[in-house]
Amino acid sequence: MSVELTSLPDLYAPISDRLSIVQDIVNKELTSRHPSVNELSRHLANYHGKMLRPALVLLSGQAAGGLTPTHEILAAVVEIVHVATLLHDDVLDEADMRRQHRTINAMRNNETAVLLGDFLISHAYHLCSSLDDLHAARAISATTNVVCEGEIIEVNNRQNDALTEDEYLEIIRAKTATLTATCCALGAHYACDDPVVESALREFGLCSGVAFQIVDDVLDIAGDESDTGKSIGRDIEEGSTTLPMIHAIRNADTSTADTLRAMIRGQKPVDIAFVQTTLDRTGSIDYALDVARGHVQSALEQLGRLPESPALQSLTTMVEFILRRQS
């Protein structure tokens, strides 16, 4: 049974004291003796957002048996890795704004943003090296490999108007869901010695991550710019073929489908009103949300393996909220 979501503090209540420790660890790890580096690090506060991934580590650990100081370090590691990927994403996307603040690449340049991302990745591994075993370091390194592969595959498929639904799902599992799966699995691994629980929470994180990315892609087309904090239709402008567009191309009449394909290939300017009307007529937004809903249901089924607790209630509410999010 889920709790009613009123705010992030309510959702994170079971781990609120630990989250503040995690933020302190992140701040300490990224403090440099060079003022210019510290100035850049201060701007990273705009990238932290909801602290979703460290919360997943802590809530999964709490739900699986209890938290240790290792969980706090791991939560800091995954947040640092996540922010590094955002820095690199902004360069790839040529983004000027993130969460209604200027990006590092817009404030400075691409070189600075890429190097700052590399700085973060190196510090994530430095934190991992402070642990007594190699499990976390191996898991994080394997995860970052998959995330990078996903990003490469996505970039290589830009302007690919023939991308299939299976190929799309493979990309988002790699670039987004792999990290959330690892967050949950690490939380469980360092809380209990039960491979069944660890596997269940890994699958929960994977399904949740897929659902989250699908909804994110829906919001890019059908969201409100004041809520999302970014321009609507940016994915199409970049030539990214997401699930709503895949479904629309598959179900629209030939002329309309050809127009959508031309927009993805950059051969026609993006007409977001035309796209939204087409997606409404073909039921493509509803279809994408139904696919996301299926992954949410799969995630919830995995949680049935865990005993009731406040942390489990928060995880349940967190995944249910994916379908209602506006930003």
**Are 239 and 265 in contact, with CB atoms under 8 Å apart?**
yes
Phi then psi for residue 46, to 5 deg, are -75, -15
The count of structural domains within the chain is 1
In a domain, 3, yes or no: no
- The 10s digit of each residue's pLDDT in 291-306 is 999 999 999 999 999 9
- Distance CA(178)–CA(146), nearest Å, equals 7
Task: Give 327 or 250, the one with higher predicted confidence.
Answer: 250
* Average pLDDT score over residue span 94-104: 81
**101 strand-pairing partners:** 98
Confirm whether 164 is domain-assigned.
yes
Q: Judge whether residue 4 has pLDDT over 50.
A: no
Give the model's pLDDT for residue 229.
53
CATH code for position 153: 1.10.600.10
Question: What is the pLDDT averaged over residues 227-254?
Answer: 89
pLDDT at 2: 38
The answer to whether residue 181 sits within a structural domain is yes
| Chain mean position to CA 190 | 22
Report field, pTM of the whole predicted structure over 0.75 = yes
Do the domain assignments include residue 20? yes
pLDDT of residue 327: 61
Say whether pLDDT at 122 is over 90.
yes
- In-domain check, residue 2: no
Residue 49: count other Cβ atoms within 10 Å of its Cβ.
16
Residue 125 scores a pLDDT above 80: yes
Residue 129 lies in a domain: yes
Report the alpha-carbon distance of residue 180 to residue 83 in Å, rounded.
Answer: 13
Query: What is the domain range of residue 251?
Result: 8-324
Q: Is 12 helix (H, G, I), strand (E, B) or coil?
A: coil
Name the one residue in this structure whose structure tokens are 């790890």.
Answer: 29
Of 12, 91, 75, nearest in space to 315 by CA: 12
44 touches 29 (CB < 8 A): no
Tell me the pLDDT tens digit for each residue of 67-81.
999 999 999 999 999
Residue 1 located in a structural domain: no
Burial of 217-249, coded b for 16+ CB within 10 Å and e otherwise, reads bbbbbbbeeeebebebbbbbbbbbbbbbbbbbb
The whole-angstrom separation of Cα 290 and Cα 187 is 29
Task: Determine, yes or no, domain membership for 195.
Answer: yes
Average pLDDT over residues 23-31: 93
Backbone angles phi, psi at 102, to 5 degrees: -65, 140
Please name the residue that has the structure tokens 């909801």.
50
